[in-house]
Protein backbone atom coordinates (compact mmCIF):
# COMPACT_ATOMS: atom_id res chain seq x y z
CA UNK A 1 0.00 0.00 0.00
CA UNK A 2 0.91 3.66 0.05
CA UNK A 3 3.03 5.25 2.74
CA UNK A 4 1.60 8.05 4.85
CA UNK A 5 5.04 9.59 4.52
CA UNK A 6 7.84 8.34 2.32
CA UNK A 7 8.61 7.77 -1.35
CA UNK A 8 5.54 7.88 -3.61
CA UNK A 9 7.04 5.32 -6.01
CA UNK A 10 7.46 2.51 -3.44
CA UNK A 11 4.73 -0.06 -2.79
CA UNK A 12 4.77 -2.89 -0.24
CA UNK A 13 2.73 -6.09 -0.21
CA UNK A 14 3.34 -7.06 3.40
CA UNK A 15 4.89 -5.90 6.65
CA UNK A 16 6.16 -7.80 9.67
CA UNK A 17 6.36 -6.21 13.09
CA UNK A 18 8.54 -7.96 15.68
CA UNK A 19 9.11 -6.94 19.29
CA UNK A 20 12.40 -7.68 21.06
CA UNK A 21 13.29 -7.04 24.70
CA UNK A 22 16.19 -4.78 23.70
CA UNK A 23 18.54 -3.89 20.88
CA UNK A 24 21.07 -6.28 22.44
CA UNK A 25 18.49 -9.08 22.36
CA UNK A 26 17.80 -8.41 18.68
CA UNK A 27 21.51 -8.34 17.85
CA UNK A 28 22.00 -11.69 19.61
CA UNK A 29 19.15 -13.14 17.54
CA UNK A 30 20.40 -11.59 14.28
CA UNK A 31 23.91 -12.98 14.79
CA UNK A 32 22.72 -16.51 15.66
CA UNK A 33 24.32 -19.12 13.35
CA UNK A 34 21.01 -20.92 12.68
CA UNK A 35 19.30 -17.65 11.76
CA UNK A 36 22.18 -16.65 9.49
CA UNK A 37 22.12 -20.07 7.76
CA UNK A 38 18.67 -19.28 6.36
CA UNK A 39 19.41 -15.67 5.46
CA UNK A 40 20.22 -16.49 1.83
CA UNK A 41 16.73 -17.91 1.29
CA UNK A 42 15.08 -14.83 2.77
CA UNK A 43 17.21 -12.49 0.70
CA UNK A 44 16.50 -14.44 -2.50
CA UNK A 45 12.74 -14.45 -1.84
CA UNK A 46 12.41 -10.69 -1.36
CA UNK A 47 12.71 -7.95 -3.93
CA UNK A 48 13.44 -5.42 -1.17
CA UNK A 49 13.24 -5.09 2.60
CA UNK A 50 13.69 -2.53 5.35
CA UNK A 51 14.70 -2.90 8.96
CA UNK A 52 13.35 -0.01 11.02
CA UNK A 53 14.19 0.05 14.73
CA UNK A 54 11.40 1.61 16.77
CA UNK A 55 11.32 2.53 20.43
CA UNK A 56 8.37 3.36 22.59
CA UNK A 57 5.82 2.19 25.08
CA UNK A 58 5.24 -1.48 25.82
CA UNK A 59 2.61 -2.96 23.52
Domain annotation covers residue 59: no
Give the range of the structural domain holding residue 43, as residue numbers without chain letter. Answer: 20-48
Domain annotation covers residue 33: yes
Domain annotation covers residue 24: yes
pLDDT at 59: 55
pTM of the model: 0.56
Q: Between the CA of residue 54 and those of 9, 23, 31, 41, 45, what are the distances in Å? A: 23, 10, 19, 25, 25
Domain annotation covers residue 9: no
pLDDT at 2 over 70: no
Domain annotation covers residue 56: no
Domain annotation covers residue 38: yes
Domain annotation covers residue 26: yes
pLDDT tens for 10-59 read 777 788 888 888 889 989 988 999 989 988 888 888 888 888 887 776 65
Task: Give the chain's domain count.
Answer: 1
Amino acid sequence: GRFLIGPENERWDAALLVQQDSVASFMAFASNAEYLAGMGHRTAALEDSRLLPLEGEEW
